[in-house]
Amino acid sequence: MEMVAQAPSGAIPPPKPWYRQLYVQVLTAIVLGVLVGWLFPAFATNDWIKAMGDGFIKLIKMAIAPIIFCTVVSGIAHIQEAKKVGRIAVKALIYFEIVSTFALAIGLIVGNVIRPGVGFGEGAANADAVKQYLGKEVKSVDFVLNIIPDSVVGAFAKGDILQVLLFSILFGFSLMALGERGRTIRSFIDDAAHAMFGVIAIVMKAAPIGAFGAMAYTIGKYGTASILNLLGLIATFYLTAALFVFLVLGFIARMAGFSILAFLRYIKDELLLVLGTSSSESALPGLMEKLERLGCSKSVVGLVVPTGYSFNLDGTNIYMTLATLFIAQALNVDLTFSQQMTILIVAMLTSKGATGITGAGFITLGATLAAVDPRLVPGMAIVFGIDKFMSECRALTNLTGNGVACVVISWWEGELDRRALQRRLGRDIDPADLETAVTTG
């Protein structure tokens, strides 16, 4: 980001030394975490090592709700026409459904072509391990009612993004209706948003510690053997996600006038953070700030990114179709064309209904399997051991998809700053500099 206050005459300051770049520190921490987890598993599974990763994620989560509130309220309150908010929301939902369908379809295609589950034995299954996820049903009516918080304070206390988003939208419309009388509150919320991004800038300095703790504990607890047992499925999933990002999202990005490779480089800090912590929430505030500085309008960022967090789960959709086919192949259950089309429909719904629920990936997978063929449900135990190692790829794909969606919808809405887009995609932006960047504009 441009630190204008420290650069005379508008000159761009010299880049940081490589060892002070956050992505270098996080990447180094991930490698060290893998080595420690592999060589010293007893030490890596220590509660204090686990606390490094969990603590960092909690630090990020504590700021997500107020950041979303300030961003959404500010975006809506500065819009002159209420119908524009609805137009952005409709465009976002249309985009989400189209791209999610492509994600589901590419998972089915790759699963049918590569057939990673053929010849797989049932010996790796651990039925007892997945019992905690069975029987949990996510009904559509419960999902809708859960969007409405019991209290505003409760929504912020739980950090429920959809509940905070609903209240933020209502508050933003109310502030818009106040007109000139709401100018003081709008200014306060804008300043509060800058302060919250400053908090994130401070917290991000601890990202290497969090990435090290999370990765060391994961490898130490699950071991490398659990990765090797189902290496075919993991490799197929990562390949499918890469095809989706570079082909589908790459084509969409090219239509909008930017390169997917340049965009991935632009958000590499957030991607590495997700890789180290296995949590897309850890990168959400930084992604929103970077998208706004990339040229996306504040109103689009405030509406699209939080909504996409629940409705645009591209990585999860790929996982749902690919894992379902893998289990069917492993259990020698032949799925008809109509059953595979059922996967598309059911997964489209269940992947949204379980947002924010502990074990959501397994709950939605169980719901999909039960709807397609009840004989497949016990097969959940087959992928249970390696689900943790696929969660990183799901989160990475989800984050990338939401970032691209925000840029595309800004372009669709005619509110994308092309000059800022091209200028920013060619430069490195360190999340640890957010505080300075925000205060200097």
- Residue 138 confidence (pLDDT): 52
- Write the CB contacts of 286 (distance below 8 Å, at least 6 apart in sequence): 200, 204, 269, 270, 273, 431, 434
The residue assigned the tokens 């909690």 is 58
Distances (CA, A) of 16 to 20, 22, 268, 322, 331: 6, 10, 16, 42, 53
DSSP string of 32-73, one letter each residue:
HHHHHHHH-HHHHTSHHHHHHHHHHHHHHHHHHHHHHHHHHH
CB 70 within 8 A of CB 193: yes
Domain carrying residue 254 = 4-440
Token pair, residue 392, equals 């990183």
Round to whole Å and give the CA distance between 303 and 280.
17
The dihedral sign for the CA sequence 18, 61, 174, 287:
positive
pLDDT tens for residues 326-359?
888 877 888 888 888 888 877 776 666 444 444 4
pLDDT tens for residues 168-209?
889 988 988 888 888 899 889 888 888 888 888 888 888 889
Largest CA distance in the chain: 69
Token pair, residue 239, equals 């390949």
pLDDT band (50, 70, 90) for residue 1: very low
- Residue 432 confidence (pLDDT): 54
CB atoms within 10 A of CB 395: 24
| Structural domain count, the chain | 1
Between these two residues, 97 and 13, which has the higher pLDDT value?
97
- Write the CB contacts of 10 (distance below 8 Å, at least 6 apart in sequence): 4
pLDDT tens for residues 119-164?
655 444 444 544 555 555 555 576 677 778 888 898 888 877 778 8
Percent of the chain with pLDDT over 90: 14
- Residue 159 confidence (pLDDT): 77
- Residue 17 confidence (pLDDT): 75
The dihedral sign for the CA sequence 103, 280, 146, 76:
negative
CB 60 within 8 A of CB 203: yes
Residue at 119: amino acid letter: G
Residue 10 has pLDDT above 70, yes or no: no
Round to whole Å and give the CA distance between 244 and 99.
10
- Write the CB contacts of 258 (distance below 8 Å, at least 6 apart in sequence): 407, 421, 422, 425
Round to whole Å and give the CA distance between 409 and 424.
18
- Residue 441 confidence (pLDDT): 43
Mean pLDDT computed over every residue of the chain: 78
Between these two residues, 214 and 349, which has the higher pLDDT value?
214
CB 65 within 8 A of CB 164: yes
Residue 210 has pLDDT above 70, yes or no: yes
279: left (phi over 0), alpha (psi -120 to 50) or beta: beta
Residues 108-117 have a mean pLDDT of 87
pLDDT tens for residues 65-106?
888 788 778 877 776 666 777 788 888 889 988 998 999 999
Comparing C-alpha atoms, which of 277, 303, 305, 278 is closest to residue 290? 305
Residue 322 has pLDDT above 80, yes or no: yes
Comparing C-alpha atoms, which of 127, 183, 159, 118 is closest to residue 325? 118
Give the burial class of 150: count Cβ atoms within 10 A of its Cβ; 0-12 exposed, 13-18 middle, 19 or more buried. Answer: exposed
Residues 404-431 have a mean pLDDT of 83
- 290-301 CB burial, b ≥16 within 10 A, e <16: bbbbbbbbbbbb
Residues 243-255 have a mean pLDDT of 94
Token pair, residue 158, equals 């739980």
Q: Please report, for the domain that includes residue 67, its CATH number.
A: 1.10.3860.10
Between these two residues, 222 and 323, which has the higher pLDDT value?
323
- Among 49-63, 247-261, 310-324, 427-441, the least confident range: 427-441
CB 364 within 8 A of CB 138: yes
The full length of the chain comes to: 441
Give the burial class of 131: count Cβ atoms within 10 A of its Cβ; 0-12 exposed, 13-18 middle, 19 or more buried. Answer: exposed
Token pair, residue 313, equals 């789960």
CB 441 within 8 A of CB 209: no
- Residue 83 confidence (pLDDT): 72
Residue 253 has pLDDT above 90, yes or no: yes
Round to whole Å and give the CA distance between 383 and 364.
14
Comparing C-alpha atoms, which of 238, 277, 274, 243 is closest to residue 260? 243
Percent of the chain with pLDDT over 70: 77
The dihedral sign for the CA sequence 107, 113, 114, 119:
positive
- Write the CB contacts of 335 (distance below 8 Å, at least 6 apart in sequence): 325, 328, 343, 372, 373
pLDDT band (50, 70, 90) for residue 12: very low
Whole-model pTM: value is: 0.69
